[in-house]
Amino acid sequence: MPMKFVMLKLDGGELLPVLFPEFMQHSHIAQAVPATVVSAGRVYLEDGRIVARGSSSSLGIASREEDSQIIQGYFDGQNAIQQEN
């Protein structure tokens, strides 16, 4: 089963992915944190890699091409917070 995610942009411009169970709504997570949501969707494990795609109907925002790489970086131990370009 896929999980959902929101990609947050913190006050300093850092990007921080938050993954959560499918039964929760993107909007509930977004309201719980003091940060800007820059993308949202679902994450899947395909051939051992994280793939982020789709969108959030509750937020009206889609995933971005770079989201998969950012999330995968956290799982690979490259847990330095990413900066948005």
Has residue 75 been placed in a domain? Answer: yes
- Beta partners for 3? 43
Instruction: Grade residue 78 by pLDDT with cuts at 50, 70 and 90.
Output: low
- Asked whether residue 11 is domain-assigned, the answer is yes
- The whole-number pLDDT of residue 84 equals 57
Domain contains 54:
yes
* Domain-located, residue 67: yes
Which H or E element spans position 27?
helix 26-32
Stated pTM of the model: 0.86
Q: How many domains does the chain have?
A: 1
Instruction: Tell me whether residue 85 is in a domain.
Output: no
Q: Do the domain assignments include residue 17?
A: yes
Least confident of 1-5, 21-25, 63-67, 75-79: 75-79
pLDDT tens per residue across span 15-74 = 999 999 999 999 999 999 989 999 999 999 999 889 999 999 999 999 999 999 999 988
Residue 44, in any domain of the structure:
yes
- Can you give the residue range of the structural domain that contains 61? 3-79
CB 15 within 8 A of CB 78: no
Per the domain annotation, does 38 fall within a domain?
Answer: yes
